[in-house]
Amino acid sequence: MSRALITMPATAKRGDAIEIRTLIAHPMETGYRRGDDGHVLPRNLIRRFACRYDGETVFEAQLYPAVAANPLIVFSTRATVSGALTFTWEGDNGFAQTETALLTVT
């Protein structure tokens, strides 16, 4: 498990767009760099990020080597119903992590 941070408001008015900031600890090794021994460091990337909310994937991203280490992804979603937002990161070497955050809609 990597450390993941999700910053978003705990409550929102129905219909408002809320901003969500997600950060996850991950080296995002590009596969282009060489280590001290001269060998190419094997590629180790997060490839895909998705956010599910209210029964639907509301946001998705495909990540490439040009995304910096510890990927930050900032996006928005419209508050529809109170409930959990599910965030998933998937990558090389079977990397998969899921986090949830609760949103109360008034």
Residue for token digits 């990161």? 89
Report how far residue 89's alpha carbon sits from residue 27's, in angstroms, rounded to the nearest whole number. Answer: 13
Distance of closest approach, residue 82 Cβ to another protein, in angstroms? 16
Alpha-carbon separation of residue 60 from 38, 69, 78 (angstroms): 36, 19, 15
By CB under 8 A, name the binding residues for another protein.
Answer: 16-19, 30, 32-36, 53-54, 56, 58-69, 71-78, 80
- Of the two residues 41 and 95, which places its CB atom closer to another protein in the complex? 41
The distance of closest approach from Cβ of residue 95 to another protein in the complex, given in angstroms and rounded to an integer, is 17
Which is nearer to another protein, 75 or 95 (by Cβ)?
75
Q: How far is the CB of 34 from another protein (least distance, A)?
A: 5
For residue 31, give every residue at least 6 positions away whose Cβ sits within 8 Å of its Cβ, in sequence order, or none.
Answer: 40, 41, 42, 43, 44, 45, 65
Nearer to another protein, 30 or 97 (CB): 30
